[in-house]
Structure formats: C-alpha cells, structure tokens
A and B are shown apart, each in its own frame.
Chain A
Amino acid sequence: MKITPDMIVFAMLAGMAALSAVGVVAFRNAVRSALCLVFTFFLLGFLYFALNMEMLGITQIVVYTGAIMVLFLFVIMLLNLGASHVLEEKSDPKKVIGIGFGVSLAVLLASQIVPVLIKVNAPTAPEGFGSPQVIGNVLFTDYVFPFEAVSILLLLGIVGSVLLAKRRLS
C-alpha cells in the first residue's frame, strides 16, 4: 500500500483523537476529562470534513463542542466536582476486569472487520453528497416523520430537565 499525504493527515487526526479519547477515561479530574472530550469532538468534526460531510461537520462542532460540552462543564462547576478529592478513585478489581474486557473486545472486533475493510480504499459517494442542500432536501421529504418525532423528544427533554432541576426531592 502506498503512503499518500492524505493518509498522513488522517493518521495525525486519528492519532490525536484516539489519544484524547483515552484521556477522557484516564484523567481523574472531571474537568480535564471534559476538555479532552471537547478536543475529541473537535477532531471528529475535522474528520467529518475530511469525509466531505460539510453539513454534519459544522453540526458536530456547534452541537457537541458548543452546546453539550458547555452543559457538562456547567454541571461540573455547579457540583464543584473539579477537585479530585471529592471523588477519590480507589483501586478495585473493576479496573483490571474492565481493561481486560476492552482488550478482548478490541481483538474480537478487529479480527472480524479489518481483513474485510482494508481492501476498500476508494470512496464511491459523488461530490456534494454531504452538502446542506442534500441534507435539507432529504430531511424534509423522506425523513419528515422522524424529524417531527425528534422535535417532540427535544421538547420533552426541555420540560423534563427543567422539572428535574426545579423539584426538591426529599
């Protein structure tokens, strides 16, 4: 297989994304985990651009790094969980079991999918495949019912979170 410049760019983006994904799990401090997650989502946005999905790349950056991660950081600050002494992670057998489980899952999946997919190296989608026009066109014709269902779900989410945050549990 020939090494192309595209491959080097992809390897750098993917390597950084994988490293910061590990950082989310490895850091003890919740704020550091959250910042690692922001970085991962940003790099994923770039990878979506690399796949010619402009619309979803922008949505990824706006929704995840702009909205969801701000919510996470807001709650961490509100609960004052930044200091690691609040939740000292003790050593327990769960860690070894979890990592062993992860490694075995990785070996199982990789042995099944990599030999099949390593041969596929030419994208077949046409230009403008991920453009806002195509997404909007499909979203409001073929997928209009799921679209409305999701809008109701988001409304329920707003009402539910306000209710949960307001009510005193006792």
Chain B
Amino acid sequence: MNGVPLAGFIGLSMFMFITGVVGVIIRRNPIVIFMCIELMLNAVNLAFLAFARYKFSGLANVNQGAAGQMMVVFVMAVAAAEVAVGLGIIMAIYRLKENIDVDELNLLKG
C-alpha cells in the first residue's frame, strides 16, 4: 500500500477501538461486551502492525523490527485463552441465574 498515509491505518484503528469502548459501556449482553473487547484488541493489533511497517527505518536489523509482529502474535494467543475462560464463566453464570443481563448480576454486592 504505497501512498496510503499512516494516519489512515491509525485512524481506522482508533475508530475501532472507540467503537469497542462505547460498546462495552452501552451494551448489557455480556457476550456482546466480550465481542467489543475483541474488537478493541484487534484495533490495537492493527496499530502495532501499521507502526511496525511504517516506522522501520533506524532499526538495526529485521529481528528488531519484528517486535510489533511478535506483540500481535502474543495478543492473539492471550485473546484466545481469555475468550475460552470468559465464555466458560458466562455459561456457569447462566446455569446459576438463567439470566445474563449484566445490570442484574449483583452476586458480589456485600
């Protein structure tokens, strides 16, 4: 993608991140909230890769420049683990309460 300014990629990343933040605030379905968290993680991945590609000059070798890509690999792995455990928790809550509206879940209230 020659000629596309870095601001294009970062702007898209910013928009997706903010959409995720707004979704986490306004939605009440925990599964959709999880999806919005995934959206935020992906937005950050896009920012990492765009910077890795556009801001390469000045680095000693390719291995040093791959730090952004390594970060993305690890974010993907952690997101997979997080989704597996999080959806397990939602399943357990659903079996306990038959209702997963986040505004109704007040088990931790003292």
* Chain A residues at the B interface, C-beta cutoff of 8 Å: 1-2, 4, 6-7, 9-11, 14, 17-18, 21-22, 24-25, 30, 33-34, 37, 40-41, 44, 47-48, 50-53, 55-56, 59-60, 63-64, 67-68, 71-72, 75-76, 78-79, 81, 87, 89, 94-95, 97-99, 101-102, 105-106, 109-110, 113-114, 117-126, 129-130, 134-135, 137-139, 141-143, 146, 150, 153-154, 156-158, 160-165, 167-170
Contact = CB atoms under 8 A, between A and B. Distances in A.
Given A4-B3, A165-B88, A87 B80 contact: no
B38 A37 contact: yes
A87 to B, nearest CB: 5
B37 to A, nearest CB: 11
Interface in B8-61: 8-12, 14-16, 18-23, 25-29, 31-32, 34-36, 38-39, 42, 45-46, 49-50, 52-57
A22 B19 contact: yes
The secondary-structure label for the interface of chain B is helix
Nearest to B24: A98
B12 A146 contact: no
Nearest to A18: B15
B70 interface: yes
A170 B95 CA distance: 9
A156 B84 CA distance: 10
B19 A102 contact: yes
A139 B73 contact: yes
B39 A40 contact: yes
A46 to B, nearest CB: 11
Interface in B81-102: 81-85, 87-92, 94-96, 100-101
30 contacts: A6-B4, A21-B15, A24-B19, A24-B32, A25-B22, A25-B26, A53-B52, A53-B69, A55-B69, A59-B73, A67-B80, A68-B83, A72-B34, A72-B87, A79-B100, A81-B29, A87-B101, A106-B18, A113-B7, A118-B5, A123-B54, A124-B53, A129-B53, A129-B56, A129-B62, A157-B80, A157-B85, A165-B91, A169-B92, A170-B96
Contacts of B9: 47, 51
Interface of B: 1-12, 14-16, 18-23, 25-29, 31-32, 34-36, 38-39, 42, 45-46, 49-50, 52-57, 62-63, 65-66, 69-70, 72-74, 76-85, 87-92, 94-96, 100-101
A113 B50 contact: no
Nearest to A79: B94
